[in-house]
Amino acid sequence: MTTPIQIMPSSATPKKPQVQVQKEDAMLLQKELINRNYHELATAHAMGRKVSATFVPGNLNELLMCFDLARSLPETNALQNGMRKKSGKMIMDAERDGHSEDVCTYVKADLGMMLGGEVGPTGEALPRPDVLLLSYTGCFTFMKWFELVRQKYDCETLMLHVPYQGEGKINSAMRTYVVKQLREKVIPGLERITGVKFDIDRLRQYMRESQKAEDNLVKVLQSAKQRPSPIDGYFGAVYYIGPIFTAFRGTPEATRYYEVLWEEVQQRMREGKGPVTPEGGIAEEKYRLVVEGPPNWTHFRDFWKMFSDEGAVVVASTYSKVGGVYDFGFRHDADRPLESLAEYCLGCYTNLNFPQRIDMICRYMDEYQADGLLINSIKSCNSFSAGQLLILREVEKRTGKPAAFIETDLVDPRYFSAANVKNRLESYFQMIKQKKAAH
C-alpha cells in the first residue's frame, strides 16, 4: 500500500493566470524532485553511492540520508509503473515465473520489473540495492517481498521490527524496543555497509526540515474541512504526499515544495474554489466523502473522473496517511531523534488496529462534515482488505451516514472494471442524495 506519483499534467491547470503560475511552481518542483530521484538512483553506483530499498510505511528517510544512500521505494516504483500502464506485463511475467494470482500486485510488478531488465518507470535503470531496510510496520507481505528480493540479489538486509499496536496505543516498552534496534542493529549495520560514520546532528538537521514540511502538509490536508474543499483529499492528496512519503522527507527541497503547495491551496481558499482535477475544476461540490483504501493506479484518471463528474469530492482519506499519520499531532522531533523515529514507525497507519482505524474514519466523517464513507477494497492487498466490511458496518452504525464498498486493484489492470465501478458509484451518490434530501 503506498504512494506518490508524478505531478499532474500541465493541461490539468486552471485557466486563471495568477493561480496557474503558482500551481505550476508546485507541480514543477514535484516533477523535478521525482525525476531527480530516479536519475540519482540510475547513476548512484557510477558515482560511488550505495543504494537502499525500503517501504513507504515506516521509512526512515532521514536516517538513510545520514549514510549518503540513494533511496528506492519499491511500492512507489510499482505504482509509477501502474500509472504508466507498464505494470500489466510485469505482473504477468511474475506470474509466469511462478508467483500466484493472489499475491500482492505491488510485489509482482516489482519482481516483473526485475525480470524485464530492471528498467525503472522513467526508462532509466534501477540499480540493485546494496541494502534492504525492512521497517516492519504491520504488513506481513513486506517481509516476504524483501525475502524474494534478497534471494535474487543476495543483498544485505536490515530488519527493524516494529511491534503492532494491538492494544491501540504505544507504550514506553515498545518505543524502547524499537530505539534499541535502531542503536544496536540498524545504525551499526548502515555504518558497516556504507562506510559512513553516523552523525546524530545530521539526523537532527534533517528532522527539523521534516517537521516544517509536515506542518504544511497537515494544513493542506485539513483545508478540506472548508466548504467547498479546495483540495481532493484522496486523488489530489496522492500528489501532495509524494515528496514527504518518499525520498525527500527531511530535505530543504521538500520543505520548499510544501510551502509553495500551501500558498497555492490558500489562494484557492481565498477564491472559494474547489479542487483541480486532471479535467479542470469541479463546478459544484455535491458530495463530500471519506475514502478508505488506496486508489487504483492503472486507471487513475478515469477513476477520479467518475467522482469529479458527479461533483463528489473526497475530503479525507486513510490512504493519504499511509506514509505517516501527521494530522493527529505526530511530528519528527529533532530533540528526541531516535525516539521520534520509533514513534513514527509505531504510529504508521499500517500498524494501527481495527478500533483505531474505525475511530480515525469516524473522526474524519465528523470533522470534515462528510456525507458518507467509500471503501475501495484492493483485491490483492490481503493485509488491508481483511476486516474492511466490519469497518464499514461499524462506521455506518456510529455515524448514521451511508457507506459503500467497491473492489479494484492497485496495479493489475485486469481487476479494474470501469462499468461496474461507475455503476456502483452512481447508485451510491444517488443514495447519499436521497439521504440528504430526507434531512
Among the listed residues 51, 70, 126, 139, the single contact to ligand SF4 using CB under 6 A: 139
The residue (of 139 and 160) whose beta carbon lies closer to ligand SF4 is 139
CB of 109 to ligand SF4, least distance (A): 10
* Per CB under 6 A, 43 contacts ligand SF4: no
Q: Is 67 in the site for ligand SF4 (CB under 6 A)?
A: no
228 vs 347, beta carbon nearer ligand SF4: 347
Phi, psi of 80 (to 5 degrees): -65, -40
Which parts of 10-66 are beta strand (E)? 51-54
Among 7, 19, 73, 104, binds ligand SF4 (CB under 6 A): 104
Q: Find the angle CA(130)-CA(82)-CA(132) to the nearest 5 degrees.
A: 15
Pick between residue 102 and residue 284 the one whose CB is nearest to ligand SF4: 102
Question: Is the Cα torsion angle 377, 383, 389, 394 positive or negative in sign?
Answer: negative
Residue 438 — φ and ψ, nearest 5°? -75, -15
- CA dihedral over 294, 296, 301, 305, signed as positive or negative: negative
Catalogue the long-range contacts made by 263-271 (C-beta closer than 8 Å, 24 or more residues apart).
263/22, 264/19, 264/22, 264/23, 264/25, 264/26, 265/219, 265/220, 265/223, 265/230, 265/231, 266/223, 267/18, 267/19, 267/22, 268/19, 268/230, 268/231, 269/223, 269/226, 269/230, 271/16, 271/19
* DSSP-based three-state secondary structure for 372: strand
Q: If binding is defined by CB under 6 A, does position 368 make contact with ligand SF4?
A: no
Q: If binding is defined by CB under 6 A, does position 94 make contact with ligand SF4?
A: no
- Which of 258, 287, 384, 429 contacts ligand SF4 by CB under 6 A? 384
CB of 164 vs ligand SF4, minimal distance in Å: 13
Nearer to ligand SF4, 67 or 142 (CB): 142
186 or 410: whose CB is closer to ligand SF4? 410
- Give the span between the Cα atoms of 352 and 356, in whole angstroms: 6
End-to-end CA distance of the chain: 37
Q: How far is the CB of 4 from ligand SF4 (least distance, A)?
A: 14
Find the binding residues for ligand SF4 in span 334-363 (CB under 6 A): 350
Q: Kindly indicate which of the ranges 86-94, 331-339, 382-390, 411-419 contains the residues binding ligand SF4, using the contact rule CB under 6 A.
A: 382-390
Q: Pairing mode, if any, of strands 280-281 and 287-292?
A: unpaired
Give the separation between CA 220 and CA 143, rounded to whole angstroms: 33
Instruction: Say whether residue 383 binds ligand SF4 (CB under 6 A).
Output: yes
1 binds ligand SF4 (CB under 6 A): yes
Residues that contact ligand SF4, how many (by CB under 6 A): 12
Read off the C-alpha cell for 182.
Answer: 535502531
381 binds ligand SF4 (CB under 6 A): yes
Q: How far is the CB of 247 from ligand SF4 (least distance, A)?
A: 18
The residues that touch ligand SF4, with contacts defined as CB under 6 A, are 1, 104, 106, 139, 141-142, 350, 381-384, 410
